[in-house]
Amino acid sequence: MRRSRLASASAILGLGAICLPLLAGCSSTTTRPPRVVTTKTQQAELTVAHLIANDTFGVSAAISGETAVVGTAGTSYVGRAYVFTKTATGWDQAAELKGSDTVAQDGFGGTVAISGTTIVVGAVDNANFAGRAYVFTKTPSGWTQVAELKGSDTVADDSFGWSVAISGSTVLVGAVGHSKFAGRVYVFTKTTGGAWSQTAELTASDARAKDAFGTCVAISGTNAVVGAQGVAKGAGAAYFFADTANGWQQVAEAKGSDTVAGDNFGISAAISGPTAVVGAYGHARNTGRAYVFVHKSGVWTQVAELKGSDAKTGDFSGISTAISGSTVLVGASGHAKGAGRVYEFRKSQSGWTEKALLKGSDTVAGDAFGVAVGLSGTTAVIGADDHDHRAGRAYVFSNLNDS
């Protein structure tokens, strides 16, 4: 998601650093770093030929198998999304995506998601900030737009497309501005005829204005998690949903075991099977944290609190999160004067352990490496949207679970 919109949301929501009592009801295990934390080797640096200053390539990133998609909100925020595929010679650009009706200021590419041969791209500023999302499918002739999505009740300033997620034939789209920033999430399903239709509208059981429900969305099979960074004066919350015989139902509301006002728990989230990770980039004076939850016996329970071994004030750790199996990535775009880092954590018999630090081969202060992360199997794509006068870059790392 574009940080310019995050900043405007924070101003509208009035998020601050007022402390609240600690929240009870969650177990917590603070992750301790191992004796040796390795630095992983970068496999590729992604860019496109015509990038210019302020294109913000890498503001969003996602990966599925050997296909990655990287968003660029673009000069004047027209925006594009670029598809890259792994070949025998490296990672090559395979397509440049744009919405069929996108124009300047639409913000196309601010959010992206991919599952197999289907890509979803958000354009949060379309139609006076009502927002849209576009679905693309790989065909024998290339990547083709097959749908333009909007919520059944979205209006101007709803910011539909603020967050997007996809798993198989199901798409989630967040509209964080809906109903005075209470927020909504819309579920779309691909029918047997190939059309995409809205099948559900999700809201929190305790929804209030300025909660920002839909700040982030993530889905894995029949389980989904929705972040709401504005809950409780910016302490934030995450809501878990399940696709049941009676449709999509909220099954849990979670908070970090030590999150307080201003922590922005729910700024990011990712889910893989019965495991989810939720970021809280404002925690501890913007040092940030990420929290791991596991679904067992019908209950979502916090099992770990992740912190980088060299975390410092202002790192914004948790601004982005990704998970694949037993590996979690946590972005910290503010680390090292904004050069940025990404931390790799792995589940072991002793709990969740930090295994590696990732950084771009040419990233410097202010590049914001880690503002977006995507993970599929052992391969990650990481955005640094401020690199080279905000032209932006994305970086690919592989073999993330080899140590």
d(CA 122, CA 133): 4
In a domain, 90, yes or no: no
pLDDT of residue 197: 97
pLDDT for residue 22 is more than 50: no
Tens digits of residue pLDDT in 286-316: 999 999 999 999 999 999 999 999 999 999 9
Tens of pLDDT, residue by residue over 164-183, are 999 999 999 999 999 999 99
pLDDT at 399: 86
Task: Please report where in the chains the tokens 């029949």 appear, as a residue.
Answer: 222
Under the banding of pLDDT at 50, 70 and 90, the label for residue 401 is confident
List, for residues 353-389, the tens digit of each pLDDT value. 999 999 999 999 999 999 999 999 999 999 999 999 9
pLDDT the model gives residue 193 = 87
Range of the structural domain that residue 305 is part of: 3-12+25-44+110-138+150-363
Tell whether 304 is covered by a domain: yes
Q: Which of 158, 120, 152, 150 is nearest to 136 (CA)?
A: 120
Query: What integer pLDDT is reported at residue 74 of this predicted model?
Result: 77
- Answer yes or no: is 193 within a domain: yes
CA distance 121 to 291: 27
Inform me whether the pLDDT recorded for 272 exceeds 80: yes
Distance CA 292, CA 299 (A): 13
Q: What is the pLDDT of residues 327-336, one digit of tens each?
A: 999 999 999 9
Residue 232 included in any domain: yes
Q: Specify if 245 maps to a domain.
A: yes
Looking at the structure of the chain, the number of domains it has is 1
Q: Are 342 and 362 in contact (CB under 8 A)?
A: no
Summarised one tens digit per residue, pLDDT across range 233-258 is 999 999 999 999 999 999 999 999 99
Give me the residues paired with residue 317 across strands: 288, 332
Mean pLDDT of the chain: 91
pLDDT, tens digit, 9 for 90 and up, residues 59-91: 999 999 999 999 998 766 789 999 999 999 999
- 132 lies in some domain: yes
CATH code at position 205: 2.130.10.130
Residue 93 lies in a domain: no
